[in-house]
Chains A and B, each alone.
Chain A
Amino acid sequence: MPEITINNQKVTVEEGQTILTAARSIGINIPTLCFLEGYEPLGACRVCLVELAGGKTLVPSCSTPVTDGMEVYTNSKRVRQARKTVVELLLSEHEGDCQLCDRAEDCELKELAYELGIRDVHYEGEKPEQLIDESTPALVRDSGKCIKCRRCITACNTIQGVGALFPQYRGYRTTISPAFASDLESVACVQCGQCAAVCPVGAISEYAHTDSVWEALDDPSKFVVVQTAPAIRAALGECFDYPAGTLVTGKMTAALRHMGFDRVFDTNFTADLTIMEEGNELLSRLKKALKDKEEVALPQFSSCSPGWINFVEYYYPQFIPNVSTCKSPQQMFGAVAKTYLAELEGVDPKDMVVVSIMPCTAKKFECRRDEMNDSGYQDVDYVLTTRELGQMIKGAGIDFRSLEDEEMDKPLGTSSGAADIFANTGGVMEAAVRTAYELVTGRELPMEKLHIGPIVGLEGVKEAKLKIEKPLPDWDFLDGAELNVAVAHGLGNAAKVLEAIASGKADYHFVEVMTCPGGCIGGGGQPRYTDNAVRQARINAIYQEDEGKKLRKSHENPEIIELYKKFLERPLGEKSHHLLHTLYKEKETV
């Protein structure tokens, strides 16, 4: 194993490691703007330059492998000067209106300029044309802020397999954008926001709904209810300097009340409802296939993730019949709020405003889909990302850290642990299996802490098998059957599963797909910056929330039982069909 010195500190490193990772392993930080953990270094930004003893030129540490005996200096005069020059050159071409910028709080470029003590830009650069792209309901792009680091290309192309963003034109005219420097609407972008999640600057962000939400809250004639997605409680704390993976469910609830929401509810409630509908849908597909010998599309795919729905509609329309017809929990919530809840509260649904807090930018798109108005109104009015909520709480002058924990309102604020784990990869599957297994056998899922080990964790594609023995009489056709399930997160991984199914190499009954790496906890609307360590910390927090609840299974949620009794009647019933299910349509990629 090579031994090197970094700033005169000896360190033994593994073969093939880069100078950057070696330095970070001993607590020496080297700034980076284009590097993305886990992916091929691009060597595009040059801020990670370091000096090698005897070397004529400085080398980029992100892409230079260590060799035995190397002497590295990360903070020499030469390095500092070169780094300053690089950042000054970036700034000279940058539309730097920090006060008006979405990234004012956590911009990597601004922070770097500060750390390097840059007070003046000694170069006059040509600023690129500033094109603002507001063509989609989810995202805003500002080409004047782009530093051409290309992280978004890795996110969109390598991770998501979409390829909406590429360098266009050449030389000083180069711009990182959709075809011919057009807008996202004109290409088959799924609106996942993973580009925004990795962008170091304010060049891609969510389309803000903050002003509209304040307007609704200020309007006394409106009854404003809020739902919070499962993934928010494990990440919102990061906006207030809590370490990743700090659960802030109670403080979040309190903050939302302080902001003036009339009711604080939980998307987890409709996550439980989703399990009732989607679990029964799966069982009915299995019954058709195995008992009635009817033609039916299997495997069934989960449908909670709107980026994934876009992906199927654009790129794999042949699988549309396989996608569960269940609306996502966000949309089920809207439809139930503006019908059932409106009745309970005696509020005219036209005066009700439903706001969602989501870890996701695609949810902003989803709530505006034509199909999403089964209550007679747009079921969900506004979607705020975790980041937007953090900003609004600060703007409202709420001292988040000193808030006392509060409980959510009833009835749409009651949920099970199965709903919590919707936040992470493997969670929807586990929640569905907890319920489906019990419906079929009358017994609890026989697994330690109710977790399905093989589908827990950050592996891109995970599989599990589940043998069904001694089912209840209604399900005797399942006796001895082996249920094959798969879980994929990141659309590139989803595509692998789809290709395997299409070519007959894989045979599953149920497949969970979440658009973002790690699932919703790694969504495009979560606090930046999200790497695998952050993902894991948030996932741990979510499992902790699940295990801490008495109620662990969706079908045991008393408010769900009540909802069926009083209103929906039964899963997959007529009312459910009307309010909770939807259809998808093929879309042209170009």
Chain B
Amino acid sequence: MPTRENQELTQTMSEHPEDDPALLEALDTVIDGYGSEKGVLIPALQSAQNLYGFLPEKVLKHISKKLNIPYSEVAGVVTFYSYFSTVPRGKYLVRVCLGTACYVRGGKEVLAAIKDYLGIDVGETTQDRKFSLEIGRCFGACSLAPVIMVNDTVHQRVKPERLKELLAPYENDEVEANEGSGEETTGGSV
């Protein structure tokens, strides 16, 4: 997940951060620090995502060339881990748990309702870059299923018909990107 710093950076960044030479230089410096040993691809991708907020195609191609790793292999790693994202993330990342407990207690319906409400699919971001939608595994709150997380805040016993209310504070920017809402249990890192 994006950290507090880069979340803010992403907010203030231009539409096309991948065209910013300063960011690319910063990335190269980090990668150069890793030396040339095997296994630098994943750390390099992590650094890139921290810098850019996501992994733009141009940056991935740059990494492929710089590390001399075939582009298809780079893409294979990026698409394997749901941690990596090739599309810009929204200010709020909504993650719907589809672990067993949540799944049987209506997680699927919650997901369908969120997709419907936000008008995006899993892995996508709303036009206004406010929300991204992803699926999560267990958040460790099974007894209170179904559960969703919005950034670091866990929302429990979510009901599809009350989604609008739940998301309203985010929609109206009443919640800071990295602040828990206070009313809900805050989950640990996932």
A interface list, Cβ under 8 A from B:
157, 162-170, 177-180, 187-188, 589-590
Nearest-neighbour CB distance to chain B for A494, whole angstroms, equals 16
Chain A min CB distance to B63 (Å): 10
Q: Which residues of B contact A178 (CB under 8 A)?
A: 71-72, 75
Chain B stretch 53-76: residues in CB contact (< 8 A) with chain A:
61, 64-65, 69-76
Complex Cα–Cα for A165 and B75 (A): 10
- On whether the beta carbons of A589 and B79 are closer than 8 Å, the reply is no
Partner of B79, one of A164, A168, A188: A168
Which residues of chain A have C-beta atoms less than 8 A from B76's C-beta? 166-168, 179
**A590-B61, A590-B64, A590-B65 known; A163+B80 contact, CB < 8 A:** no
Q: Specify which chain B residues have a CB less than 8 angstroms from the CB of A589 in the assembled complex.
A: 64-65, 71
Decide if A164 touches B80 in the complex (CB within 8 Å): no
B contact residues vs A (CB 8 Å cutoff)? 61, 64-65, 69-76, 79-80, 86
When C-beta atoms are compared, the residue in chain A nearest to B82 turns out to be: A170
**B80:A187 contact, CB within 8 angstroms:** no
Closest to A173 in B: B79
Count chain B CB atoms within 10 A of each CB in A163, A165, A167, A179 and give the residue with the most. A179
B74 touches A179 (CB 8 A): yes
Q: A589-B65, A590-B61, A590-B65 in contact; A187/B70 too (CB < 8 A)?
A: yes
Q: How far is the CB of A108 from chain B (nearest CB, A)?
A: 24
CA distance A590 to B71 in the complex (A): 7
Q: A166–B65 contact, CB under 8 A?
A: no
Q: Check A163 against B73 for contact (C-beta < 8 Å).
A: yes
Name the A residues within 8 Å of B65 (CB-CB).
Answer: 589-590
The 10 residue pairs across chains A and B that have the minimum distance between CB atoms: A163-B70, A179-B75, A166-B76, A590-B61, A166-B72, A179-B72, A169-B79, A590-B71, A179-B71, A180-B75
Minimum CB distance partner of B76 in chain A: A166
Given contacts A169-B80, A589-B65, A590-B65, contact A157 B75 (CB under 8 A): no
Across the interface, do A163 and B72 meet the contact criterion of CB distance under 8 Å? Answer: yes
* A589-B65, A590-B61, A590-B65 known; A162-B79 Cβ under 8 A: no
Counting residue pairs across A and B whose Cβ atoms lie within 8 Å, the total is: 49
Closest to B57 in A: A180
Q: Which residue of B lies closest to A180 (CB)?
A: B75
Cβ-defined contact, B70 with A162, below 8 A: yes
Neighbouring B residues of A169 by C-beta, 8 Å: 79-80
Q: Interface centre among A167, A170, A589, A590, by most B CB within 10 Å?
A: A590
B61: nearest chain-A partner, CB-CB = A590
CB distance from B86 to the nearest CB of A (A): 8
A170 to chain B, nearest CB (A): 5
Told that A170-B80, A589-B64 touch, could you supply 16 new A-B pairs with CB distance under 8 A?
Answer: A157-B70, A163-B73, A164-B72, A165-B72, A166-B73, A169-B79, A169-B80, A170-B79, A177-B72, A180-B75, A187-B70, A188-B70, A188-B71, A589-B65, A590-B61, A590-B64
Q: Which of A164, A170, A177, A180 contacts B70 (CB 8 A)?
A: A164
Q: Kindly state the separation between the CA atoms of A224 and B79 in the bound complex, as whole angstroms.
A: 49
In the assembly, what is the distance between CA of A177 and CA of B69, in Å? 16
How far in angstroms is the closest Cβ of chain B from A171? 10
Is the pair A166, B61 in contact by a Cβ cutoff of 8 Å? no
Question: How many angstroms from the CA of A164 to the CA of B75 in the assembled complex?
Answer: 11
Give CA–CA (A168, B72) in the complex, Å: 8
Which of A157, A163, A170, A178: most chain B Cβ within 10 A? A163
Name 18 A/B residue pairs within 8 A (Cβ), A-sorted. Answer: A162-B70, A163-B69, A163-B70, A164-B70, A166-B76, A167-B76, A168-B72, A168-B79, A169-B79, A169-B80, A170-B80, A178-B72, A179-B75, A179-B76, A187-B71, A187-B72, A589-B71, A590-B64
Give the distance in Å from the alpha carbon of A546 to the alpha carbon of B75 in the complex.
Answer: 47
Beta-carbon nearest neighbor of A171 in chain B: B80
With A and B bound together, what is the CA distance between A163 and B70 in angstroms? Answer: 5
B142 CB, nearest partner CB in chain A, Å: 22
The distance from the CB of B8 to the nearest CB of chain A, in whole angstroms, is 29
What's the Cα separation between A408 and B61 when bound, in Å?
A: 50
CB contacts (< 8 Å) of A177 on chain B: these are 72
Q: Considering only CB atoms, which chain A residue lies closest to B64 in the complex?
A: A590
Q: Which residues of A contact B86 (CB under 8 A)?
A: 180
CB distance from B68 to the nearest CB of A (A): 9
Q: Please, which residues of chain A bring their CB within 8 A of the CB of B74?
A: 179
Residues of B within 8 A of A590 (CB): 61, 64-65, 71
Residues of B contacting A180 in the complex (Cβ-Cβ under 8 angstroms): 75, 79, 86
Nearest residue, chain B, Cβ from A169: B79
Q: How far is the CB of A258 from chain B (nearest CB, A)?
A: 44
Q: List chain A residues, Cβ under 8 A from B70.
A: 157, 162-164, 166, 187-188
CB distance from A139 to the nearest CB of B (A): 15
